[in-house]
Amino acid sequence: MTMDRQDIEALLPFLANGTLEGAEKEEVEAALAEDVQLRTELEALRAIRYQMQAEEMEASPGELGLARLMRDIDREAEPVAGSAPQAENVVPISRLRIWQVAAALILAVGIGQAVLTPRGGSVPEAPQQVAEDSAPAAATASREFGLASGAPEAAPRAAFRVIFAADATEAEMRALLLDAGLEIVAGPSAIGFYDLAPIDGADGIEAARSALTDAGPLVETLEDVAD
Amino acid sequence: MPRVPGMASDQQQRALMGAIAGGDKQALAALYRALEKPVFRFIRSRLNDPFEAGDILHDVFMEVWRSAGRFEGRSKVQTWIFGIAYRKVIDAHRRRGRLDVTDEFPDTADDSPDAETCLTASEEAEHVRHCLGTLKDDHRAAIAMAFYDDMTYAEIAEVAGVPEGTIKTRVFHAKKLLMRCLEQIMGRRVPA
């Protein structure tokens, strides 16, 4: 095979990175021996490669990323069952994935338990036992949806419950929350529900609702959280 | 491809893939630890947002978990995973409607050989990074795989899902653009 100059130049980066082999390598090296311009270009390419590889890479997600990965794999493996009722302020059920629909039911069980639970008191034994016996996954999800602080009485009151789009990035979510003046007070639940509270209290609710409504496909479902 | 400390060989990675296909989470953790850094750097080289790059890295390994059973072993494990990352970054660009930065290069090649003096100062790492950022995504991806990860053009073609000739062409143009950019920034001549 005889290469023209453009072929030789196209292969120079692969001579620079040491992956060129066989007849191609021999032919490129033969061309280099006769052409100072090619040799100079090869040195420049090696220098660029050196600079790129020597550059200190910023911190990757590392072990935190691995923990997130394991968490999501566990969540994905959790059994889900049943179906969810559709409210007017929830997106059509056809847009939701099966696991999201099932999760809505799980969350409803959790909310029901919370409503039945006197503040600072204990859950009536019998209803809780029935719920946990009939839906252990639901009970698990309900517990996971609790606040990380472990002190729900001190947390701001949630005004909205949302599911972000499955492909929403952390950066997109962060930008939206900052724009809407919201903070996450609970979540994500096992299936992705977040409870959001306006940073400015009740004064910020309407503006926050507008921002969430205007967020388009980034917010997959939006519900008001009743007092 | 260059080895980083703790990076398993391709043979070891294949064994891990088999275990992952069988539902072994510890095998996934081992593969993640072996490949997380090069995959993240590859994604990051094509995205300006480190948070988004982290999200995509997460998505890549979620797909590895779900799809390990479909790995047929016809390529290196790393090449297969880079292919997933390659497509996910393209999807991210499409979602944003992002436009490529540079599509053409000025047809004013200068044959003056003066390159060896152009890439010696410490500040040049910043110039290289800047100039990489001006390349369109498929050019930048090809150069990143060739120079960050020392991949062959056949491996790059497999990752990108295009013929080998296309990769040679992309690298050829990317190299020209990169050198032109460096020449303009540094006020010196680099062969084009």
Identify the CA nearest to A50 among candidates B12, B181, B118, B176.
B118
Q: Which of left, alpha, beta for A18 (phi over 0: left; psi -120 to 50: alpha)?
A: left
Q: What is the ipTM of this complex?
A: 0.75
Interface list for chain A against chain B, based on CB atoms closer than 8 Å: 6-7, 9-14, 16-19, 36-37, 40-41, 43-45, 47-49, 51-55, 57-58, 60-62, 65-66, 68-70, 72-73, 167, 169-171, 174
Estimate the crossing angle of helix B124-133 against helix A36-54, to 10 degrees: 90
A182 and A140 within one domain: yes
Q: Which fold has domain B10-96?
A: Rna Polymerase Sigma Factor; Chain: A (1.10.1740)
Q: Do A58 and B148 touch (CB under 8 A)?
A: no
Query: How many distinct structural domains can be found in chain A?
Result: 2
Q: Could you tell me the pLDDT band of residue B102, with boundaries at 50, 70 and 90?
A: very low
pLDDT recorded at residue A136: 42
**B41-85, pLDDT tens digit by residue?**
999 988 888 889 999 999 999 999 999 999 988 889 999 999 999
Return the amino acid letter for A87. Answer: A
Exposed (0-12), middle (13-18) or buried (19+): which is A99, by Cβ within 10 Å?
Answer: middle
pLDDT at A131 over 70: no
Q: Is residue A63 part of a domain?
A: no
* Closest by Cβ to A44, choosing from B50, B143, B190: B190
Identity at A88, one-letter amino acid code: E
Please indicate whether the domains covering B10-96 and B115-186 agree at the CATH topology level.
no
B44 with A58: Cβ contact below 8 A = yes
Bigger pLDDT: B33 vs A114? B33
Range(s) of the domain holding residue A13 = 5-54
Give B136-152 pLDDT, tens digit per residue: 888 999 999 999 999 99
Which residues in B lie closer than 8 A to residue A58 (C-beta atoms)? 44, 50
- Stated pTM of the model: 0.56
* B139: contact with A, CB 8 A cutoff: no
Task: For residue A169, list chain B residues with Cβ-Cβ distance below 8 A.
Answer: 49, 51-52, 55, 92
- Judging contacts by C-beta atoms under 8 Å, the chain B residues touching residue A17 are 146-147, 150-151
The second-level CATH assignment, the architecture, of B115-186 is: Orthogonal Bundle (1.10)
Residues A161 and A200 in one domain: yes
Residues A216 and A157 in one domain: yes
Q: Where are the domains of chain B?
A: 10-96, 115-186
A56 CA to centre of own chain: 26
Asked if A53 and B2 come within 8 Å (Cβ–Cβ), the reply is yes
Distance CA A103, CA B87 (A): 30
For residues A173 and A89, state if they share a domain: yes
β-sheet bridge partners, residue A184: A196
User: Residue B188: which pLDDT band, with cuts at 50, 70 and 90?
Assistant: low
Q: Is the pLDDT of residue A121 over 80?
A: no
Instruction: Out of B128, B153, B169, name the one closest to residue A48 (CB).
Output: B128
Residue A218 lies in a domain: yes
